[in-house]
A and B are shown apart, each in its own frame.
Chain A
Amino acid sequence: MEAIDWGYAISTLVIRFVGIFVVLGVLQVIMQITGRVFTRLEAKKDSVSQKTSAPSETLTQEEAALVGAALYLYEKR
């Protein structure tokens, strides 16, 4: 049986357990930063697409009905 250096075993274990927190902590920070960046990018993309499609979304029901009727009359002429 090999002789065990308990001091080494315990200290290296503590360091490595903390090391796992460091590795996953670094990943957490990177993921939070990229998450924020991507969320902003997506929000910007959404606002641009909303702006381009704004006219159709701002139509009231009456206006939509009028447009529909006008198109119908135009087709029937």
Chain B
Amino acid sequence: MTWDTFVNVLLDILTKQTGLFHLHYKLAIMWSIGLFFIYLAVGKKYEPLLLLPIGFGIFLVNFPLTPLMGFDAHGKRELFNIFYYYGVQWEVIPCVIFLGLGAMTDFGPLIANPKTLVVGAGAQLGVFITFLGVLLCGFTMKEAASVAIIGGADGPTTIYLTAKLAPNLLGANALAAYSYMAMVPLIQPPIMRLLTTKEQRQIVMKQLRPVSRREKIFFPLIVAGVIALLVPAVTPLMGMFMLGNFMRESGVVDRLAGSAQGSLMNIVTIFLGISVGATMQADKFLTAKPLLIFTFGLLDFAVCTIGGILTVRIMNLFLRDKMNPLIGSAGVSAVPMAARVSQTVGQQENPNNFLLMHAIGPNLAGVIGSASAAGMLIAMFG
């Protein structure tokens, strides 16, 4: 072998079989985005269960020549592409996550105070206002719908709707939804203080009545029935949510409920995180749209918070037992973080006021409300 041949072979290997000669500044930007989300997850513990695999997915998929998100020479999907295709594009993972969430959730506070369901509806205000704003910025109707649902503060619902209507925005939408959900304690308190008076923040609510086991068993059946009848487009999500809850409350399939909220949920969370991160490849992600999505996502969260608080204030005009308007902000879903924020802000005004259980009601109503909003949007554009 001559020296020239050796150099040629070496160069051939370096250019065709390594990524060294395919590096680009856009890739470096994506690595820094990926590492930033890994930092948020590990260093700041912001939604680590999702942001860690998402960040790692972004980091990994933005190395040149990596066989992860494309097709191989035989036309077979590569590893992350398989996760994405069968998990997200087939809409399996969001529904399985809802099954697990249902198995984790105690609807007692919502059943004890069904009035808070209306708060969950009011807190969807931002979804519809943001839709119009996003449309003005040149997005298509389907894209605008997928961005608008971010304010519902429900990760699986956002992913489910985006995968259906605008899969090209999946990475940015999911990331915005989970990032802002983690930042609820920063976003909501100033709005809550701005829209309420000191007296209103000090309102002590009547203790919730005890809820019997029979009521808890009937609840998922009723919700599943009503949603399937009135918003059938979102039955896959809500049906699985209520199935999980029914398994929990029935008390006869503890093993299944345990698996749904434990191992199964953890497994699909890994695949979801990686799949979402893997959609954020430099050539698709580095456009003006993700920036707009993050801006509108923040606005969306703020308007949804305003919507929830104003709904409680309007309801208080007609109620004998007044509700503390601070629980309205929990209507944005983001369970249970938004409810904890209500509790914290309430205790700053009155240390003896315990709003947590009262806020869990609108918080769970927000999950149903955002799923209903998603169903409405799917019915419009799906």
Chain A contact residues, CB within 8 Å of chain B: 1-2, 4, 9-10, 12-14, 16-17, 19-28, 30-32, 34-35, 38-39, 41-42
Contact = CB atoms under 8 A, between A and B. Distances in A.
A31 B114 contact: yes
Interface stretch (B89-97, B223-231, B293-301): B223-231
Contacts of B118: 21, 24-25, 28
Given A21-B118, A21-B121, A30 B214 contact: no
A16 B222 contact: no
Interface of B: 110-112, 114-115, 117-118, 120-122, 124-125, 128, 131-132, 135, 138, 140-141, 209, 212, 214-215, 218-219, 222-223, 226-227, 230-231, 365, 368-369, 372-373, 376-377, 380
Q: Determine the main DSSP class of B at the interface with A.
A: helix
A29 to B, nearest CB: 8
Nearest to B370: A20
A12 B148 CA distance: 15
Given A2-B140, A16-B376, A23 B226 contact: yes
Contacts of B368: 24, 27
A27 B365 CA distance: 10
A24 B120 contact: yes
Contacts of A13: 128, 131-132
Minimum-distance CB pairs A-B, first 8: A31-B114, A16-B376, A24-B121, A28-B117, A24-B117, A21-B121, A20-B121, A28-B114
Contact of B227 (A17, A21, A23): A23
Interface centre among B128, B209, B227, B369 (most CB of A within 10 A): B128
Nearest to B216: A38
B87 to A, nearest CB: 28
A26 B373 CA distance: 15
Interface centre among A10, A21, A25 (most CB of B within 10 A): A21
Contact of B226 (A1, A30, A32): A30
14 contacts: A12-B380, A13-B128, A16-B373, A20-B369, A23-B372, A24-B369, A27-B114, A27-B222, A27-B368, A28-B115, A28-B118, A31-B110, A31-B222, A35-B112
A47 to B, nearest CB: 15
